[in-house]
Amino acid sequence: MKRFCACLLSAALLLSLSACGGEGEASSSDSSVDTSQEEVRESETATLTLAFYPQQSLHPALSANRANLTLAPLLYEGLFAVDGSFTAQPVLCESYTVSPDKLTWTFTLRGGVTFSDGTSLTGEVAAAALELARGEGSRYSGRLSHVTSITAGEGTVTVTLDEPNGSLPLLLDIPLALGAGERPVGTGPYLLSENGEEAELTARENWWQARQMPADTISLKIMNKSDEMIFAFDAGDISLVEVDLMGTNSLGYSGSYETWDYSTTSMIYLGFHTRAGLCQSAEVRKALGRGVDRESIARITYATHAVPSALPVHPDSPMYDRWIASQLSYDPEALVKELEALGAAGRELVLLVNTENMAKASAAQWIADQLESAGMKVRVDNLPFEEYISALEAGRFDLYLGEVALTADFDLSALLASDGALNYGRWQDEQTDQLLAALAAAPMDSREEAASALYAYLGQRVPLVPVCFKNNSVLTKWGKLSGLSPVRGNLFYDLENWVIS
């Protein structure tokens, strides 16, 4: 958690400061009024207020509005939750069984759970919610693309796959909603109330978890346009916002605020054209990987809103093998020696990057400078996104700096499988395909061994070089909230530990 002080305060904040400075001192006869006003101010500062776009859907699987989706963990729960170490924790699922071939999973639902309208959580309801989540238009259809059927039983729901997956619970942190409407009810700790132009969330008395929430009522600030979020937060009208501070077209916020970073699965990586040019050679690719100064890129280019990683898995994950990572560390002296030994020094490389993202463009230039200092010639092609994708698809590159949002099981198939949709480097390798499949099929309690086998092999063949994993951030006004421990997909994780000042 860090503090950021902007150079300029918003106009709304300046106006509020002006209003506080009266022309004369209050007399003793005004003391009761002053005390009353102070009590009102204290009451106001103790309120948690969040943004809400009433003209947009609140459905956790079908909505496209980011602010409304931020509210989802307060209203809905999934079979599982994924914690900060990317481990699946049971929520609405009490237990599960899986077939030996890892194709059929049966989840037993927790008993006594109801939605906020009193409807019981049953196998039929859970199956319908998951079916909707894997359908067209759902945010979760991609991760459920290997699901062939979802069936309901007595207090159970069974998911059948067309490919083995030993870590399916990591993909089932999908919020379950009752129905497909724009305001479906959920099993979470709060329920939504709307009355004309006003809306709020109220803590449920019959929530099955029965944990004490820090606020009985959460106020909702009505929003209509995207840029209203900036003004509302700067003026203190809403308590927090979620933002990717290093994202393309990231909104700017002013004033004095605190940031609460949380880990994501968004990986920044250096890709190679493995079928043409100098980077056809695994030895050259491995040598070039020595020129990636991950620590500096994460600290400077990404302003510490990223975590350096030598492996294609987040360092917070139990699958991260630190010994293998240590063998792939930044080593500029080894880079020079290996390039000279390979006869690659002085050769030219073309490095593609999307110029619309300043952090990525800066990181690409940083890598180019490191390689040039080792004797290479690097031409950085900064391209708008559409041209960048076209160049990748056409293979007009030696290197490219990319970003991919992985699923919580850190499946690399899209990037590295022979038929991967994001395999721009044309990597075709039977051993990689086998290792990817072995990791996917590995049971939850033995994934580390399969992951290490994959990462060790990739460290030798080097079809790509991981750089870092981005953080996202929750911004709160300075001193107003404490105890936050956000995780990917849930800013309100362990909400009962929050303190609202």
Least Cα distance to 283 among 461, 84, 408, 412 occurs for 461
Instruction: State the burial class of residue 105 (Cβ atoms within 10 Å of its Cβ: 0-12, 13-18, 19+).
Output: buried
Percentage above 90 pLDDT, the chain: 84
> How is the chain split into domains, by residue range?
51-225, 262-471
Asked if 174 and 61 touch (Cβ cutoff 8 Å), the reply is yes
pLDDT for position 432: 98
* Model pLDDT for residues 118-176, shown as the tens digit of each residue: 999 999 999 999 999 999 999 999 999 999 999 999 999 999 999 999 999 999 999 99
pLDDT for position 249: 64
Q: Are strands 104-109 and 156-161 parallel, antiparallel or unpaired?
A: antiparallel
- Residue 263 bridge partners (DSSP): 471
Least Cα distance to 221 among 17, 47, 41 occurs for 47
DSSP assigned state of 77: B
Mapped onto helix, strand or coil, the DSSP state of residue 357 is coil
Of the listed ranges 12-16, 64-68, 304-308, the one predicted with least confidence: 12-16
Q: Are strands 217-222 and 256-272 parallel, antiparallel or unpaired?
A: unpaired
Give mean pLDDT, residues 297-317: 97
Asked if 243 and 253 touch (Cβ cutoff 8 Å), the reply is yes
Confidence category of residue 211, pLDDT binned at 50, 70, 90: very high
pLDDT for position 240: 95
Instruction: Give the whole-angstrom CA distance, residue 362 versus residue 163.
Output: 39
Backbone angles phi, psi at 320, to 5 degrees: -70, 120
Domain covering 262-471 in this structure, CATH number: 3.10.105.10
Give mean pLDDT, residues 468-475: 96
Of the listed ranges 31-45, 352-366, 403-417, 440-454, the one predicted with least confidence: 31-45
Predicted TM-score (pTM) of the model is 0.89
Helix (H) or strand (E) holding 370: helix 358-373
Which CB contacts under 8 angstroms, 24+ apart, belong to 39-45? 45/480, 45/501
pLDDT for position 11: 32
H helices present in 112-221, as ranges? 123-133
Instruction: Give the whole-angstrom CA distance, residue 491 versus residue 203.
Output: 17
Q: Tell me the residue ranges of DSSP E strands in 227-364.
A: 240-243, 256-272, 306-308, 348-354
Q: Per this entry, what is the length of the chain?
A: 501
* Model pLDDT for residues 278-301, shown as the tens digit of each residue: 999 999 999 999 999 999 999 999
Instruction: Give the whole-angstrom CA distance, residue 431 versus residue 227.
Output: 49
Give mean pLDDT, residues 478-491: 95
* Longest CA span, the chain: 89
262-471 has the same fold as 51-225 = no
Confidence category of residue 52, pLDDT binned at 50, 70, 90: very high
Give mean pLDDT, residues 397-402: 98
Helix 332-342 and helix 358-373: axis angle, to 10°?
A: 60
Of the listed ranges 95-99, 139-143, 247-251, 260-264, the one predicted with least confidence: 247-251
Residue 181: count of CB within 10 angstroms of its CB: 12
One of 3.40.630.30, 3.60.15.10, 3.40.190.10, 3.40.630.10 is the CATH number of 51-225, namely 3.40.190.10
